[in-house]
Structure 1
């Protein structure tokens, strides 16, 4: 869209262009004009009215003054009481030049219309008296033509009538007492039409101490003078008084100033007309007339304003509601070439600052802004909040002057300038840099939020107002939204909340968090935090132990199923070299500096390599928020309530994000396996990997599901699978039985065998296959070629120890058949000589005792003696001792203790041998523990 830049349509005044304006030139000085020493723009009536825009309030006031001086009514007393910089002195100057009549009314722009409205053809020249409360001194007389004048009333009389007028109040002036109403009425009548302009009266009166008289009178005499003067003015139809009073107690100054303001306001209030202050819309024209000569291309200006209005309408959801009204086009036209949002921010926000004068302050600031933009050849169609050249030292100093201490680093670091973060972002991202999206957004936020205070309930500037201050026709609003997101991540002093943005002299919490993140190191802080979080995600499950970030030496090499969680620096990657496999291989093969034997007992959980960096960053963020919240509680950080709540909420969000990130990162189950074929040996160790669903509610249950579904873990094993494994690996050509305990232990060691949950699964499998003749038989040992405790094809009690044998089914069937044959051959044959039992009963057969090679007679055998004592001994496996002893108690000891009258005595004998000898630490620990456990004897002996 081809819109003319403002510089081609509106030309600034010469002093603005050259930057030769002086700060004092913006401050209208009534006394200097009265003395004839002011600058031409204030001293010359024609130049003054050329740059004066008649606001509604000024027109009403001048209308009243014109009527009063012409004897056609009007208000005798007009009180100008508005905010600091509200245009009071400028209004007095308009009255001064109008009443003095040094220039024809027709030569004064805007004045003829005022005379016409008042019905006055020619305004009579009036005498003018100017009483300046700042220039006058209560205790320092002024000498005029040899006459010492002490008081305000003396000065008033002299200015109106010289020596003759002074003579009317000479005694009152000398004594410091107020002249009466009648004397003042005579004075005013004699020199009417007259205008009395009193500026900064409070500044004069507050200098009088109560009960103490000065050459200028006393506090009470000056108040009496004001009262008498206002009453006298009512009686003189062609005399008028304009007096300016501060609007607030703060502007009044000291305690006496506040008291003086209250008293003067009371007396002026008895007979006065209040002047209507300058409206914001009127201020547009005031500033434009003072800063710009004219609009030399009205069609171009209208085209620009129309383009902006249409742009706002087309993107209504991105801009404030008032931009959708048709009158916003009129606001654009009134303010051109300055955007209305600039005036709104300055008049609504900046004018709330104590030392920022409404009109004068805006003029001073905008003069420097326009000068710099003109010098930089700015090509924007309008001067917008985003246009403010805050990188310019003069402009920045002018803005910061009105703000509290601490804003200079905010602007320099975050808003504008070569070293600002905004500039760095734009230099790295040409899309943002092409429209200066970051700098313009930061300037608009600064202009709209810097005057706010931490005590405000709602701080900052809304997103749509930021857009209003920066976006131009033809641009996408989204680019500025992107810029704001980038600024939120990078800027140190920018805050945001509830879709509002603001700068503060205190660093924002996000940047504070970002700085604190740098404190935390991987090994010392981040990994322990991840370890704690991972630990909390697990519940009890199938694993005998869960080892999180544990070194190989601390992972036991035993029969328990163990899950090893690898640290973040050993992450898994499907696409390349995986550190997880290297670390897992190290743990799988060694336990510290010793080889590991129970390799099939380990399963690994690894982090996803693509997610580790985000996880570590999230941990640092969480730790940083924790430290901030902790410092807030300990009063180490001075934050407002909003920031305290924001910190707590951010910590909650960070913890929740970290919980999700832990699950999303630790997503790979990694398990070792080997393939083996009988007679062909083993393959290299291979690693299977399967993803864990991060959305599953319970991580432990999800891991179990993955392990079971992918047969990485067997919790239920069919006897046929055990039989197959026995055929493949344990029953050899010449040996058809094998130790059941050895089979279980080999399944814990060999990666080509199934990985069982625990020995209970193995025992259940054996028990399930015991009743069938298809899988295997059992024996409790083998002596001299005979199976002890042989069982085949029937339910039996099984105790997994070194004596339990699993027999190949064909061999077991043959052995069972042999037992039957032997049993049958051992039975006596019935003969005729065999005596019959009484009653014709059968003779009981003899049954083979499977533990002996002899036979035991049946019912006809000789009676045996009663057995009253039992003694048994067993050697326990050192690794399985705990479980074996528990089974021994359940299966044997309980048989005795459950019978009444049976006394059981259990003695345990422990013998340990070491070829290299036991060190002192071990001996000490064993002896101490034996004492605690009340061993009868516990001694270490020298070897043979």
Structure 2
């Protein structure tokens, strides 16, 4: 397919940029005086570049019939909006009546003559009465003749001095000549045409209740009424008058009054006239700006490709693009896209002052000139093609808009410093098709008039129409949709309504910065060290629930407790980590585990660290600032410090909600590095730091940290006794030392990085209890004194994990147990008494024992039962807890098992202090004795 520049070539004046703006304004007086440019002055050239619209064709038919005496309306009032083609239509009538060539040389006229049922249209005299050509109080000259009034000017143009003589007295006195005189004048010079333009501009100049050389306000209205009545009586005469449509064009209140009076006067006899339709404007602009298209096949191929592409996109584009007639619209408008005309004629013509035809011609001439210079290769000239970076094209549009639009275009829409250009430079897929600038230009063309025109019902364009203004065959609409979404987040003057991303969302530009601009301004106010860091800390607190007893976010290392709790230290943003540059974070971790403020840190193995990723850090900071900014806007609206409309209020609340939802996600993506300080062996290596990347797509950060810690055994929650035995053999059961303190072992796991990091003390307790039930792992004892192991046990007994508990190497425990058993002295069997062989006391001295064979009956011994038990025990201080438990289980519990027994337990505590007890000990013991209810607790 060929681009538009290879199929439709602009006229030479458009190509060279030599046209003058005034040439687009048809000036009937200039044509009448022979001073207009060729395309307006020459009848054949004029009709070559003029598309005869339905309204113009109907009017020319009326004129032809009237001049031929075959009917037709005598008076026609042309009243449309500014730039609606009134003066251009009058010129068509002028050239039809005054032509110097054959009718066949005037493009389009022969068909109209045939339609009117005529063989020919007679040439006619034409009087052009231009209200802006003369001042009502200043006479002017026609040769040697002085003329003072409009009726004098009309008569002179129709018949020179002879005709002027009929109205000379009326011209001299400034009074209306009357219907009969005007009828005589028109009959003498028929066929004739009277063209009256800018009549309101002339009549409104007359002072109130005062006559001047041009007559008075009332005499001029009387002249118009007499003329319209007279022309009805002359079959081959016709009057055409143009009146402005709006009060604004009429000017002052005096002009509005004149307009109302003239409307009433012409309204009595006027004929209807249809203004230029939007579809007809296609051909008007094409004929005026382009040479005839010679390669019809190329035009058809392009238009067919656009129509097929639109059908393929379906609901992503406006409904009318799916209709067959849209292909016809593309053909008629070629090489300009119909959407350009729709926006100009539906939106821009609602602005008072924008000329319906002339304004479009002036704008498109400048656009085409710049696109031609820039070697534009678009298939059609779309809304997204408009070169708003070009000052001349931009000024033609912003001239009709309020002040401030230049800044909007330069900042958000088009230009080297625009946000759209920056986005395209950053994103190649947008830059390849100019997606961002095309989107912004399309939205501007469809939304800028709403800033001044109250007739626009709904502001902006919907998503489908925005894409329509950009998309070309072979391109994906998704690229433009993505670019639109990105621009919504970046541009300062782009406003939206409706839910973001929905097809019903509307987009428009305005000179007032949107709330996003307010947000951008505010987010720079927040301090990184206080407000931004505080916001990030608040978010991390909500997302870092985990296996740790304490989480310290951005806490100075001197304030992190040095105790037995397992703690996660979250490093501040300035201490970041990457695999390529890890030194900053690693040095910070090693310093924290070495120092607790000015003092050394003892329990270094209770700390783990979470560090931010440098690549995401800037995005996290920005997300925090955005959230703070939106929150401040919503707060200011709520407190009445910021006045915005309801739509913007809802937008601010929606943006705040979105920012608060996005911030935790960005925080998780940023704080993704779990740093674990470790050491391979006690003396063979220095402390190092391992880094583990967290999966940021998990359910929660806390659960992900727990998974990494468990999978990599960074934190042990369940420990097997075999691992405990291995660690004891490796570090504690060496040489003659065959036992180790369990409490000391746990304390070492808190301090040394080469030791396992147990979740809590209960993990070790469970491992000890499980291992103590077997003879394979270790034995247990409760203290060692004089080479004796108190309470040694190897398998099968409950274990109390206290500060006295010893873990004994199983071989040593077994040998000690066997040695203890062999040292017990046995009692001789013949000294034992049994119930079956009662002991016989030996005979006393001097007595003779029983004679052999004699039988002595055994005495009956009374059976007595003990009724009282007293027991006392010395309890070693080192094993007091274990011994008291044993006494309770094995003595007190057995005694209490008899329901009739009364058991009374008295604990006597005696302590001596050779140097005297300290105040702290005395106070603590007294308070505890009081709270425990001791019967006596005395100090001496």
TM over 0.5: yes
Moved more, 655-664 or 699-708: 699-708
Change (3 A) 1:819 1:778: farther
Is the aligned partner of 1:560 residue 2:558? Answer: no
Verify: 1:658 aligned to 2:660, yes or no.
Answer: no
Is this contact kept in 2: 1:823–1:847, CA < 8 A? no
Match of 1:336 in 2: 334
Q: 1:344 offset after TM fit, Å?
A: 2.9
1:27 paired residue number: 25
Alignment of 1:292-441 (within 5 A): 292-313=290-311, 319-375=317-373, 381-412=379-410, 415-416=413-414
- Counterpart Cα distance in 1 of 2:624 and 2:47: 68
Which of 676, 679, 692 is the matching residue for 1:671? 676
- 1:755 has 2:757 as partner: yes
Following the alignment from structure 1 to structure 2, what is the Cα–Cα distance between the partners of residues 789 and 893? Answer: 32
Query: Paired residue for 2:114?
Result: 116
| 1:88-99 equivalences in 2 (<5 Å) | 88-99=86-97
Aligned to 2:256: 258
CA shift in 2, pair 1:301/1:686, >3 Å: closer
Q: Give 1:196-235 correspondences, 5 Å limit.
A: 196-208=194-206, 210-211=208-209, 213-235=211-233
SS in 2 for 1:369: helix
Distance 1:873 1:164, change over 3 A: farther
What is the distance in 2 between the residues matched to 1:73 and 1:255?
A: 38
Task: Report Cα offsets for 1:268-320 as digits up to 9, x if no partner.
Answer: 22332221011122222222222334334444444444454445455556654
* Cα pair 1:569 1:579 within 8 Å, conserved: no
Deviation at 1:25, TM superposition (A): 1.8
Residue by residue over 1:251-279, the C-alpha shift from the partner in whole angstroms, topping out at 9 and shown as x without a partner, is: 22223333333333233223322210111
After superposition, the C-alpha distances for 1:501-533 in whole angstroms (9 at most, x for unaligned) are 554445566677667767767656654432232
| Residue of 578, 583, 587 corresponding to 1:582 | 587
Alignment match, 1:937: none
After superposition, the C-alpha distances for 1:568-616 in whole angstroms (9 at most, x for unaligned) are 4444556874644432222112223432111222233334555445434
CA distance in 1, matches of 2:306, 2:487: 26
What SS does the aligned partner of 1:532 have? helix
Deviation at residue 170 of structure 1 after TM alignment? 6.1
Residues 599 and 412 of structure 1: is their aligned pair in 2 closer, same or farther, counting only changes over 3 Å? closer
Structure 2 counterpart SS, 1:357: coil
**1:82: Cα distance to partner?**
0.9
2:552 is matched with 547
Q: Kindly indicate whether the alpha-carbon contact (under 8 Å) linking 1:696 and 1:702 is maintained by their aligned counterparts in 2.
A: yes
Q: Size of the alignment, in residue pairs? A: 880
2:899 equivalent in structure 1: none
The counterpart of 2:747, out of the listed 731, 734, 745, is: 745
Q: Helix, strand or coil: the match of 1:28?
A: coil
Distance 1:692 1:837, change over 3 A: farther
- Using the TM superposition, give the Cα deviation of residue 363 of structure 1 relative to its aligned residue in structure 2, in angstroms: 2.0
> Gaps (5+ residues) in structure 1?
860-864, 876-880, 908-944
Q: Which residue of 2 aligns with 1:919?
A: none
Q: Contact 1:493–1:504 (CA<8 Å) still a contact in 2? A: yes
> Which among 16, 19, 23 is matched to residue 18 of structure 1?
16
Distance 2:53 2:667 in 1: 67
CA separation in 2, counterparts of 1:824 and 1:253?
140
Superposed counterparts of 1:821-860, under 5 Å: 839-841=863-865, 849-851=873-875
Deviation at 1:61, TM superposition (A): 0.9
Note if contact 2:567-2:607 (Cα within 8 Å) is conserved in structure 1. yes
Structure 1 position 563, deviation (Å): 1.9
Relative to the length of structure 2, the TM-score reads 0.78
Summarize the Cα distance change of 1:719–1:843 in structure 2 as closer, same or farther, 3 Å threshold: farther
SS at match of 2:608: strand
CA distance in 2, matches of 1:426, 1:695: 30
CA distance in 1 between partners of 2:81 and 2:912 (Å): 108
Distance change >3 Å, CA 200–CA 524, structure 1 → 2: same
Q: Deviations over 1:793-851 (max 9, x none)?
A: 999996945x67677787698499789969999xx998878999975225978756142
CA distance in 2, matches of 1:219, 1:745: 112
Q: Which whole-Å CA distance do the structure 1 matches of 2:99 and 2:404 have between them?
A: 50
Match runs of 1:170-209 below 5 Å: 184=182, 188-189=186-187, 191-208=189-206
Report the secondary structure of 1:114's partner residue: helix
Q: Secondary structure at the match of 1:81?
A: strand
Aligned counterpart, 1:55: 53
- More deviation in 475-484 or 362-371? 475-484
Asked if structure 1 preserves the Cα contact closer than 8 Å seen for 2:539 and 2:664, the reply is yes
Q: Is the 8 A contact 1:168 1:183 kept in 2?
A: yes
Question: Secondary structure of 2:542's match?
Answer: helix
1:482-521 alignment runs, 5 A limit: 502-506=508-512
Tell me how far apart the structure 1 counterparts of residues 464 and 21 of structure 2 sit (CA, whole Å).
34
Q: Which structure 2 segments of 5+ residues have no match? A: 834-838, 843-858, 878-886, 896-903, 915-919
Summarize the alignment of residues 467-478 of structure 1 with structure 2, pairs less than 5 Å apart.
Answer: 467-473=467-473
| 1:81–1:274 contact (8 Å) kept in structure 2 | no
Q: Deviations over 1:212-260 (max 9, x none)?
A: 5555454455444444444444444433222212222222222333333
> What does the per-residue CA deviation read over 1:594-639, in whole Å, with 9 as the maximum and x for residues that have no partner?
3211122223333455544543443344445456656777888887
**Any idea what SS the aligned residue of 2:535 has?**
helix
Q: Equivalent residue of 1:80, what SS?
A: strand
Which structure 2 residues correspond to residues 480-879 of structure 1 after superposition, within 5 A?
502-506=508-512, 523=529, 526-539=532-545, 543-571=548-576, 577=582, 579-608=584-613, 611-623=616-628, 625-626=630-631, 645-674=650-679, 684-685=686-687, 687=689, 692=694, 694=696, 699-700=701-702, 703-704=705-706, 707=709, 711-714=713-716, 741-759=743-761, 777=780, 779=782, 800=802, 814=817, 839-841=863-865, 849-851=873-875
Q: Find the aligned partners of 2:762 and 2:167 in 1 and give their Cα distance.
A: 123
Contact 1:763 1:800 in 2 (8 A): no
CA offsets per residue over residues 892-926 of structure 1, 9 Å max, x none?
655417xxxx698999xxxxxxxxxxxxxxxxxxx
SS in 2 for 1:603: strand
Q: Could you say what the CA RMSD is over the residues aligned between the two structures, in angstroms? A: 5.1
Q: 1:395 to 1:754 in 2, by over 3 A?
A: closer
Rate the CA distance shift 1:130–1:871 in 2: closer, same or farther, 3 A.
farther
> Which secondary structure does the structure 1 equivalent of 2:933 belong to?
helix
Are 2:131 and 1:133 equivalent residues in the alignment?
Answer: yes
The SS at the match of 2:80 is coil
Q: Secondary structure at the match of 2:276?
A: coil
